[in-house]
Structure 1
Amino acid sequence: MNPNQANHPNTYTAKQVFIQRAGIVLALTLTALLVLGLLGAAFDVLLLVLAATLIALPLRAGANWLSKKTGWKEGIALAIVAILTLALLVGMGWFMSYSIGGQIDQLKAMAPRAIQNAEAHLRQTPFGEWLLENNVKPQRFLEGGSSRWLGKISGVVSTTLGSLANVYVILFLAAFFAAEPNLYRQGIVLLVPKSGRKRAAEVLDQIGTTLRGWLMGKLFSMTVVGILTYVGLRLLGIPMAGALALFAGLITFIPNFGPLLALLPAVLFALLQGPQLALYVLLLYTSIQFIESNILTPLVQQRIISLPPALVLIAQLIVGIFAGILGLALATPIVAIVLVLVKMLYVQDVLKDDSVKV
């Protein structure tokens, strides 16, 4: 036996215990990181599935309606609805590229001068000077890492949904969901014990109805916002009104943050013609946002589901941290799904309170 070990019998044991504990901590840390990584990847996949579902639901609803009206088979009706929808989108894309394609190019060309002009106006006020000294500059709101959204207004839809690969996955899944919705619905129901399968089917149907209604209402709001923005900008004499209105309508899909993103380029370009016009543009966008938030949204939601604005904002902040722009865009339907689950499975089934309607 080593004399040192004889004099210090617990020295080797203490080191061994320390190494074991350090190894356990390291293993647990690596495991936690792996689990978080898998959960993050799974969450991204779930968002893609949700986006595909939001596309499939109206397609399937249109196919069902056409099938009932004409007596055609659902497959034929779905094919017709899908072709008509694709033709409509292509037609709208062609019309927009033909009518406002030049305006989008002008926006790209004028963006640097608009930013410089905005900084010049900021320097004229103490608060603006403080912002610039603290490196809070307009271009930081227009640039995000490798993606410059103002330079890619023509690709705002693909930017909202994510990369081109994600768009492909979403459309691919949407086609399958729309073609055979009962297959996937039944697959989820079969995961529930027999005693709860009827209720599970009711919950899934209600979620589908809620999402479909919310989406149609959102598309209506986006259309109204785009039209009002175009009319208002034309009346104010703002150049490139078509491109700015298109962007405002599309970005309205993202509640809370969308209107702010839509406002920024309009104010920047209005500043090129003077601060008074920029103030008018600010008032215009504020008025349109007031109409959308206090008239259009409540009018739609009272027939579908009431979504607390604070809850939607909290969900956007949480989901946006993990999934970026896609999370911000899909936070509202996530809240809608959660509310349906809570009301039906907890309030109605557990608490036995049937007074709460979905």
Structure 2
Amino acid sequence: MDDLGMATGTQDKSWTIGRIVTAAVAILAVLGLAWLLVSLSDFVLLVFAAVVLACIFDAMAQGIGRLTGLKSRGLKLTIAVIVLLLVFIGTFALFGAQFAQEFETITASIPPALQQVEGLLQRLGYGGTLTSLLDQGTQDLSSVASRIGTYALAVGSGLTDFVLVFFAAIFIAADPGLHRRGLVLLMPRKAEKPARDFLDDCGNGLRGWMLGQAVSSVLVGTLTWAGLALLGVPAAGGLGLIAGLLDVIPLVGPVLAGIPAVLLAFTVSPMTALWSVGLFLVIQQLQGNVLQPMIQKRAVDVPPAVLLFAVFGAGVLFGGLGVLLAAPLTIVLFLFVQRIYVRDILRKPITVAGQEKPDESGAGD
């Protein structure tokens, strides 16, 4: 009996040690994976950017198939890529010289505009702290100009990354099912169906976001261009292009686009600057109350506070590329929380993106 008790105790002790070792290995594996993702964050973001661009190509190919009746995916994808390239090349061919000249005007006009703002603040009796901030901003601009060579190298590296992302997106869009099956095969068998559903949600959400965002950017850029031109603000076309591009950044983008526009409006008159502020407020209201709900209806209804924190968080963690990809990253993470955590793990009925009523199929299984 004593031998049997000792054997049982030894087995229990071995089982406990085995569980501790297994848990320790699992924790180390998770920490190692997290460290690897942080270390390769730039690479991971480039892969994600390629996936987002592949979704654009896929959506364009589907639209071309509906319009033309073509069945060959390769042919539809080729037409989509050519059309996108022709749009960019045609835009720069028609307006490239004009935009370049207007950007030079913007760069040359900002220092005098800062001086005019400083003089106005001094006349109003608010020149102390605000003037020092403007002086600091002028010094920062001078510092940026002195490091233009370093930034040129960064731009060159960014162009290389863009070329890699562009061709990677073509390969992914050529056979998305292959990459989808590869991801699903990495999951445990019980997780294969949730993984497929999550990938479907991501595809629908990203395609809807990109379609709505394209419409929003074009309208914001056009309205900004037209409004500033009517007010007589210099380089209205370049400022409209900046506003359209920065519209991709949720909530923060319109504010960033308004700063150079208002500064250049000061070179005309303080009243023009006030009218420019009013113009951006009207466009912001249109974007927030009309365009943004349209995007969320087609994509994922992410709360504005979540989007705002996502922009700042992505900027802190990943820099400028993270800010540009903040919206699609937030959509994917939001869908992950909805589909995987709330619906499949917590077993709660929720409305997942694209569904018109709560999805209760996972509840009570």
Give the alignment's TM-score, normalised by structure 1. 0.80
1:238 aligned to which of 224, 233, 238: 233
Shift of 1:101: 3.4
CA RMSD of aligned residues (A): 2.9
Task: Report which stretch shifted further, 340-349 or 214-223.
Answer: 340-349
2:57 aligned to which of 53, 56, 59: 59
For 2:141 and 2:327, the matched residues in 1 are separated by 24
Partner of 1:79: 78
The one-letter amino acid paired with 1:52 is A
Identity %: 34
For 2:173 and 2:278, the matched residues in 1 are separated by 42
Partner of 1:119: 118
| 1:182–1:146 Cα change, 3 Å | farther
For 1:247 and 1:140, the matched residues in 2 are separated by 23
Say whether 1:188 aligns with 2:204.
Answer: no
Contact (CA 8 Å) 1:119, 1:137: kept in 2 or not?
Answer: no
The one-letter amino acid paired with 2:197 is E
Alignment deviations for residues 89-121 of structure 1 (CA, whole Å, 9 cap, x no partner): 100111221443332232233233223333333
Shift of 1:162: 7.7
Contact (CA 8 Å) 2:216, 2:291: kept in 1 or not?
Answer: yes
Say whether 1:309 aligns with 2:307.
Answer: no
Contact (CA 8 Å) 1:301, 1:307: kept in 2 or not?
Answer: yes
Say whether 1:205 aligns with 2:200.
Answer: yes
Partner of 2:106: 107
Secondary structure of 2:53's counterpart equals helix
For 1:267 and 1:192, the matched residues in 2 are separated by 52
Contact (CA 8 Å) 2:37, 2:44: kept in 1 or not?
Answer: no
Alignment deviations for residues 108-163 of structure 1 (CA, whole Å, 9 cap, x no partner): 332332233333333334444212335664436757857989xx9xx9xx97x982
1:352 aligned to which of 329, 337, 347: 347
- Give matches, 1:29-48, under 5 Å: 38-48=36-46
Say whether 1:277 aligns with 2:294.
Answer: no
Contact (CA 8 Å) 1:348, 1:356: kept in 2 or not?
Answer: no
For 1:246 and 1:134, the matched residues in 2 are separated by 27
Secondary structure of 1:213's counterpart equals helix
The one-letter amino acid paired with 1:352 is R
| 1:42–1:351 Cα change, 3 Å | same
Secondary structure of 2:302's counterpart equals coil
Alignment deviations for residues 181-223 of structure 1 (CA, whole Å, 9 cap, x no partner): 1221111100111232122112101101101111111111111
Partner of 1:248: 243
Secondary structure of 1:103's counterpart equals helix
Partner of 1:3: none
Partner of 2:330: 335
Partner of 1:12: none
Contact (CA 8 Å) 1:131, 1:137: kept in 2 or not?
Answer: no
Shift of 1:300: 2.3
Runs (4 or more) in structure 1 with deviation over 4 Å come to: 34-38, 140-149
Q: What is the aligned length?
A: 319
| 1:313–1:124 Cα change, 3 Å | same
Contact (CA 8 Å) 2:105, 2:234: kept in 1 or not?
Answer: no
The one-letter amino acid paired with 1:315 is A
Partner of 1:20: none
| 1:330–1:37 Cα change, 3 Å | same
| 1:147–1:167 Cα change, 3 Å | farther
Secondary structure of 1:254's counterpart equals coil
Alignment deviations for residues 267-299 of structure 1 (CA, whole Å, 9 cap, x no partner): 111111211111110111111111101221012
Alignment deviations for residues 314-346 of structure 1 (CA, whole Å, 9 cap, x no partner): 112222112122111212211111111111112
For 1:191 and 1:333, the matched residues in 2 are separated by 23
| 1:139–1:326 Cα change, 3 Å | farther
Partner of 2:213: 218
| 1:293–1:325 Cα change, 3 Å | same
Partner of 1:22: none
